[in-house]
Structure 1
Amino acid sequence: MTANILLVEDEVKLARFVELELSYEGYTISVAHDGFSGLTMARESPPDLVILDWMMPGMTGIEVCRRLRATGSKTPIILLTAKDEVSDRVTGLDAGADDYVVKPFSIEELLARVRAHLRRTQESDPDVLHFEDLSLNRRTREIVRAGRSIELTAKEFDLLDYLLSHPRQVITRDQILEKVWGYDFMGDSNIIEVYVRYLRLKLEENGEKRVIQTVRGVGYVLRD
C-alpha cells in the first residue's frame, strides 16, 4: 500500500525518526514542524493521512484539526500527544481526529494504526484502484508502484485504468478497443500491443514482476 502522509511534529528528532520509519515502509512523507505550516501544506496538497502532534507552539494540533475539518476535509488524522486522560481523548476526537496515540509510543503501533486507516480509506474510495503493489488515483491521475511514481501518457493511463477496473478477468482485444479507444477507432489494431508494451516497460522499469499478462488469441489479463 502506498500513500502520501503529512507529519506535523515540532520535536525535530522525533519527526525525523517517524519520517524514516514511514519512508522505510514505502510511504511518501512530507514534514512540517509547526501547526501553521502543517495546515498550509494539508490545504495546498491534501495528503492521504495526517499524523499530527497536539502540543505545538503557535497553532496547536487540535486547532489544525478543527480548521481542516471546517473546510470539509475527510483525510484521516492521527493525533500524537502525551495527554492520556479520558477528557483529553474526547477533546481530540471531538475536534475531528480519527485516532489517538499516546507518547511515548511504539513505532509498530503507530504503523499499524496508519495501515488500518489507509486501508479503510482506500477500500471505500472508488477513485483509487489497487492491484498488488500498484495503485492508480483517478482524481490526481497519479500512478505509484512499490513507492515509485510512474508517469503515463493519457492513453496509457486509460488502458491501465481499464485493466485495473477488471483485475484477473481476461479482456478481449475488441473490448479494449471499444472501452479505451472508442467505437469509432479506425486505426491499426496493433495499437493495443504497442501500448501494452509501453505500459510494461514503465511498470517493470525497476525489475518489478509482470502483472499485465498476454492470453494468446484472446487479449490480456491483469494477474500475478
Structure 2
Amino acid sequence: MNKILKNLTVLLVEDDSDSKKIMHDVLSDNFEKVFTAQNGDEGLKKFKKYNPNMVITDAFMPISDGLDMTRNIKEISKDTPVIVLSAHSEKETLLKAIDVGVDKYLIKPIMADDLLNTLENVAKNKIETSNIIQVANGYSFNKIKRVLIRDGVEISLTKKELAFISLLIKRLGTLVLHDEIKSVVWVGESVTEAAIRTFVKRVRDKVGNSFIKNVPGLGYKIDRRIS
C-alpha cells in the first residue's frame, strides 16, 4: 500500500463498469477507502456525503459529465484535488478542464503505475501542504487524519462526533441546518431535535462550550476566530 495515499479516501466516478472495476481494484490496494459513482450527478451526491480527500472522474458521462461535476465540487471545496481521465485531447476540452479547476488531466488509456504516481504527486503537492485548517484560537483540524486539535492535543471524538465537527469545519463560518446535520451524522437513522441538543452538549463538553455556536431553531456553526 502506498504510504502517502493509505490514509486518504478517494471518490471514483466512471460510467464504464469494466474500467471502474479495474480502477477500483487498483485504488483499493492503495487508499484507505474508495467510493464509486456512475455519473456526475451521483458523484456530486457522494462527494457531499463522504467528503473524500481526492476525486478521480471520467470527463464525459451520461446524465452529467465529470467536468460539470468538477465545477460544482470546486465551488464546495476548492482545495479538493480532482483528476480527470479522458480519451479526448482536443483543445476545447482541455480549456474547459482548466476553466473548471481540474488539477490533472490524463489521457486514456493510462497504466496503473502512472495513475498512482500522479495521485501521489498531487497528494504531496496539494493535500499535505493544506491539510491543517486553523479553525479558531488554539484549535486546528487535520483534514487527512480527521483529528481536531486543541492547544496541540488531539481531542478524542466518536465517529458521529467527528462527522458533526467535520461538517461544521467544512462549512466554517456558515450556518449548517438541522436537516443537513441529521443526513450527515445520522445517515438513515431517525433522530429527534432533543437528541441532537443532547448530542451537541456532549460534544461541547469535549471541545469547549464556546467553540460551537447554536442558532436556535435552525442549526449550528463554527466561527473562524483567529487573532
TM-score calculated relative to the size of structure 2: 0.56
Aligned to 1:9: 14
Q: Which runs of 5+ in 1 are unaligned?
A: 129-136, 144-151, 156-224
CA 76–10 in structure 1, closer or farther in 2 if over 3 Å, else same:
same
Q: How many residues align?
A: 140
TM-aligned CA distance change 1:138 to 1:60, over 3 Å: same
Contact 2:132 2:143 in 1 (8 A): yes
State the SS of the aligned residue for 2:106: strand
Deviating beyond 3 angstroms after TM superposition, the runs of 4 or more aligned structure 1 residues are 137-143
**1:66–1:26 Cα change, 3 Å:** closer
**Counterpart of 1:159?**
none
Q: Helix, strand or coil for the counterpart of 2:88?
A: coil
1:23 lines up with 2:25 in the alignment: no
Q: Which residue of 1 aligns with 2:142?
A: 138
Q: Which amino acid aligns with 1:99?
A: K
Listed one character per residue, the Cα deviations across residues 44-97 of structure 1 (whole Å, up to 9, x for unaligned) are: 221111001111111111110111122343200000111112332121111111
Question: Where does residue 108 of structure 2 map in the other structure?
Answer: 103
- Structure 1 residues 183-214: Cα deviation after superposition (integer angstroms, max 9, x where no partner): xxxxxxxxxxxxxxxxxxxxxxxxxxxxxxxx
| Aligned mates of 1:101, 1:31 — CA distance in 2 | 19
Question: Which residue type is aligned with residue 88 of structure 2?
Answer: K
Equivalent position SS for 1:84: coil
Q: Tell me by how many angstroms 1:122 deviates.
A: 3.1
1:1-224 matches, within 5 Å, as 1=4, 2-127=7-132, 138=142, 142=146, 154=156
CA offset digits 1:89-139 (Å, max 9, x no partner): 1211111111101111111111111111111223312528xxxxxxxx635
Which amino acid is 1:76 matched to?
P
Structure 2 unmatched runs, 5+: 134-140, 148-153, 158-227
Find the residue that maps to 2:67 and give its secondary structure. Answer: helix
- Percent sequence identity over aligned pairs: 24
Call closer, same or farther: CA 1:127–1:80 in 2, change over 3 Å: same
1:90–1:138 Cα change, 3 Å: same
8 Å Cα contact 2:131/2:143 also seen in 1? no
Structure with the greater alpha carbon radius of gyration: 1
